[in-house]
Amino acid sequence: MLVVCTDVRVQRTYPGQSGINPLPMDWGNKDPQKRGPVVVSRGQTTIRRRNAIGAHGGSYSIYYALAVASKEIKVDHRPDFTNTEPAANLGPFPQWADKKKIVSMDPLGHLAPWLFSETIEKENADCQPAITRAHMKLPELEQSVREGRLVPDGKVCLNESGELAVTKFAVEPVWYLPGVAERFGIDEGSLRRSLFEHTGGSYPELITRGDIKLFLPPIGGLTVYCFGDPAKMSDEKVRLALRVHDECNGSDVFGSDICTCRPYLIFGIEEAVKEAQKGGSGVVIYFRKEGRALGEVTKYLVYNARKRGLDRASEYFKRTENIAGVKDMRFQALMPDILHWLGIKKIDRMLSMSNMKHDAIVSQGIPIHERVELPESWMPEDSRVEIDAKITAGYFTTGHRMTEEELAAVKGRSWEE
């Protein structure tokens, strides 16, 4: 027998409802105490005081729910933030107080337990982003040291064995809905309605609580990898090399050769390290947007469609559109927020061929002085179909752009081969 107990106060509330009094939130206020912390509900205790819809942890919030349901964690658990302070200082920067420049993350989140200690204790808010230091070992970088492409510096970021010292920033999404809507050129009501409908009605307060302007979407976040002194990221007097990379599990982790993702990631890290060694700053930002944000299942269906037919660059995006209805859902318009949070004001070397990433960054007032494409020698043979299709669709290159006729003449390998 299944018994379901519901409480309409949790499922749906309305502005002005008796006992509902959200914590004040003035997004973009330069005074942290006037802006206030981001607080969402966990159970009945904070339902009346939250100022955000959703749950901390993004997609991991479901695992928290499982932990509660299986009694692996107590629902009233309060985090102990002792010794969890950021491992590197960051900001504050003027961009943190500009509600048009940062709309998809909490610029004060990494300091929340210390800026809002009393509120955090009472309302059970979380700390995010988080900043730590670590070491990175990659076989390609060890080989690069052996071959002389990278030279150990002993103190900046690279030792004799090819091990890298890195500062890492983990960020989860917090959407300021009016700002997100403006960034996409739509009205806030349309955004809220679409989010409500296409999450299966999971967040009814997107519709009923127009007074709550923050939404913590159940999606993946990002990680920043900074090589060299983090303070130099915001220093306009030194050079900055940047790679913005969108997740590709098959290539990044397991080495699939059907795309250029891991090669470009490694190339980006190498170039970032070289810039740091020369006294500048090197940054790689890793977004969780698997399969152009279409997901790994859709990606594999596209692979099947490609390999069971003629895998041609001229057909590359059509294969995706036939299945998903769109060729790309990464929507780079929100991507530059992390650059504003890091205090980045210009990019000397952009290690990317993507026209969408370039245009999104420049439209946010951050100039890009040089675009660096992936060298031919780094491209796996089976990735040519993808890279040729992207170049023809607008990706940056200093080389030859293939015509539609040339693309159609390029034969791909069948699956059986």
State the burial class of residue 100 (Cβ atoms within 10 Å of its Cβ: 0-12, 13-18, 19+): middle
Cα 356 to chain center, whole Å?
15
Among the listed residues 126, 311, 328, 337, the single catalytic one is 328
Contact 282, 233 (CB under 8 A): no
Contact 33, 185 (CB under 8 A): no
154: left (phi over 0), alpha (psi -120 to 50) or beta: left
Helices (H) then strands (E): counts for the chain: 17, 9
Among the listed residues 42, 292, 330, 349, the single catalytic one is 330
Query: Is 328 annotated as catalytic?
Result: yes
State the CB neighbour count (10 A cutoff) for residue 28.
16
Pairing of strands 222-227, 164-171: antiparallel
Query: Is 330 annotated as catalytic?
Result: yes
Three-class DSSP category at 244: strand
Please calculate the CA angle 373-375-376 and round it to the nearest 5 degrees. Answer: 125
Contact 41, 7 (CB under 8 A): no
State the CB neighbour count (10 A cutoff) for residue 14.
12
State the CB neighbour count (10 A cutoff) for residue 291.
24
What is the DSSP secondary structure assignment for residue 401, as one 8-state letter? P
Residues 6+ apart with CB under 8 A from 377: none
Query: Looking at the DSSP assignment, which residues form a beta bridge with residue 78?
Result: none
The encoded tokens of residue 218 equal 């159940």
Half-sphere exposure of 336 (CA within 13 A, CB side): 23
State the CB neighbour count (10 A cutoff) for residue 278.
15
Gap between the Cα atoms of 153 and 322, Å rounded: 50
Residues annotated as catalytic are 328, 330
